[in-house]
Amino acid sequence: MLFKTVLAIIGSHEDAADINRATDLAGQLGAHLSLLVVDIAAPPTVGDYPVGTAWLDQRVEDLKTLHAVADLARTHCETAEIPFDIDRFYTERSFLADTIFQRALYADLVVVGPKLRAQSALINAVVDGAVFDAGRPLLLLPAGQAPVKVKTVLLAWNSRAEAGRAAREAIEILTQAESVHVTLIDPDASYTVNGGEPGADVAAFLARHGVTVVVDQLPSGGRPVEDVLKSHAGEIGADLIVMGAYGHSRLRERVFGGVTQALLEEAPVPVLIAR
């Protein structure tokens, strides 16, 4: 498989289910699993006793929790009998993205589960470090069991560089899928936008790789694009959504408006994003 090293970012308040999702995925891919257990340290308080003591006590408790989650993850990996390594980081928010960047450089795929996705500070650090800085694809796992085999893929397409990068990062998955639905929302047939036949160019590109392609041109009907994508994923029985993310890194211009942020927070199936 294309993904030989999977980096799973685990929050210090993760449950066993999220750890299991990471180990199951690594096992299915036959990949080495690097686990990074992280937490953001609370800033020091300004004041005298007992406030300062309470802050120190909180750090001690946070570190205990962090180590406990790392120990739990180690046990799961040993039980799964997969190759793995584990690191722990308890640091300020401003340093976390750089830590993730340094680790993501040596991974083919970065993975997060629903517990971490629900923590905005942590998921934003992952996006900054892994997607923007390291340029690695990010797989967002939903609650529930990820499919053992990806049969149907929804490729969200808007003829931008980010969508092209996502398609290339996922090309082996797309090749092995039974069908890939190139999905355009409110396509524009202008030459400088989606072309005279929206979706035809990317369909031809994918077909040369042996991908079985279906082009779906969908009207939004005034609905948010993320809702259209989620609905269409359900209609076609998609096992995976592949999409580009953000046009400009620090301004975070979002593909299809707010769809990236919406799918970061919640999606019915796994989502692979790249920039």
Question: Is it true that the peptide bond before 50 is cis, omega within 30 degrees of 0?
Answer: yes
What percent of the chain clears pLDDT 70, i.e. is strictly above it? 89
- Angle of helix 51-80 relative to helix 16-29, nearest 10 degrees, comes to 40
pLDDT at 268 (0 to 100): 80
Residues 123, 148, 202, 213, Cα dihedral to 10°: -150
pLDDT at 247 (0 to 100): 56
Q: Show the CA angle centred on residue 4, arms to residues 139 and 165, nearest 5°.
A: 50
Single out the residue of 269, 188, 257, 251 nearest to residue 223, CA to CA.
Answer: 257
Give the integer Cα–Cα distance in Å for 40 and 27: 29
End-to-end CA distance of the chain: 21
Strands 32-40, 84-91: pairing is parallel
pLDDT at 253 (0 to 100): 45
pLDDT at 58 (0 to 100): 84
- Residue range 120-132, pLDDT digits in tens: 889 889 988 999 8
Inter-residue contact 37 to 73 (CB < 8 Å)? yes
pLDDT at 254 (0 to 100): 42
* Burial of residue 248, with CB atoms counted within 10 A of its CB: 0-12 exposed, 13-18 middle, 19 or more buried: exposed
Per-residue pLDDT of the chain (275 residues; tens, 9 = 90+): 589 999 999 998 776 888 999 999 999 889 999 999 999 988 776 665 555 677 788 888 999 999 999 999 999 999 999 999 999 999 988 899 999 999 999 999 999 998 888 888 898 899 889 998 999 999 999 887 666 689 999 999 998 888 999 999 999 999 999 999 999 999 987 766 777 789 999 999 999 999 999 999 999 999 988 899 999 999 999 999 999 986 554 444 443 446 667 777 777 899 999 98
Inter-residue contact 127 to 263 (CB < 8 Å)? no
Inter-residue contact 14 to 115 (CB < 8 Å)? yes
pLDDT at 13 (0 to 100): 79
Give the integer Cα–Cα distance in Å for 216 and 222: 18
Domains in the chain, please, with CATH? 5-140 (3.40.50.620), 152-274 (3.40.50.620)
Strands 179-185, 5-11: pairing is unpaired
The tokens describing 14, both together, are 């993760």
pLDDT at 109 (0 to 100): 96
Inter-residue contact 227 to 194 (CB < 8 Å)? no
Contacts of 64 (CB under 8 A, 6+ apart): none
Inter-residue contact 126 to 238 (CB < 8 Å)? no
Q: What sign results for the dihedral spanned by CA atoms 267, 122, 149, 146?
A: negative
Single out the residue of 141, 142, 202, 129 nearest to residue 167, CA to CA.
Answer: 202
Identify the H or E element spanning 9.
Answer: strand 5-11
